[in-house]
């Protein structure tokens, strides 16, 4: 399968712990996006990269969140000092810049903060 993959698929953590998620985009895609989705809502944009450069970060993203894409391939999203409000599905998507720039989503990582 050459689609977007995410790891882990599920994460349960205690409040105050740090968590890190990984996303592997479609190999030829140079853009990579992170979104967060809570029950009954649409995905909410967090940040995106073009190659290794982080081009935009949502103002809603607190300083506890950081994302990297060091070699322009996979990306990691770290949440420090997790809070119960961080419980959500974290979705990664990738696209090829230019043209319709259609974004293809991975299966997501479901985070539960106890």
Residue where the block lists tokens 């979104």: 35
Query: Are the C-beta atoms of residues 33 and 47 closer than 8 Å to each other?
Result: yes
Give contact residues for other proteins (rule: CB under 8 A): 31, 33, 35, 40-45, 48, 50, 55-56, 91, 93, 97, 100-108
By beta-carbon proximity to other proteins, the closer residue of 56 and 83 is 56
CB of 81 to other proteins, least distance (A): 26
User: Whole-angstrom Cα distance, residue 97 to residue 100?
Assistant: 8
Burial class (CB in 10 A: 0-12, 13-18, 19+), 41: exposed
By beta-carbon proximity to other proteins, the closer residue of 46 and 79 is 46
CB of 94 to other proteins, least distance (A): 12
């Amino acid at each position: 399968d050459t689609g977007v993959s995410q790891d882990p698929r599920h994460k349960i953590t205690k409040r105050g712990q740090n968590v890190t998620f990984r996303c592997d985009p479609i190999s030829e895609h140079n853009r990579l996006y992170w979104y967060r989705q809570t029950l009954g809502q649409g995905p909410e944009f967090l940040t995106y990269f073009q190659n290794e450069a982080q081009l935009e970060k949502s103002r809603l993203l607190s300083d506890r969140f950081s994302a990297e894409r060091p070699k322009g391939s996979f990306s990691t999203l770290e949440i420090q000092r997790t809070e119960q409000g961080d419980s959500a599905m974290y979705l990664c998507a990738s696209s090829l810049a230019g043209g319709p720039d259609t974004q293809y989503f991975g299966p997501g990582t479901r985070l539960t903060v106890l």
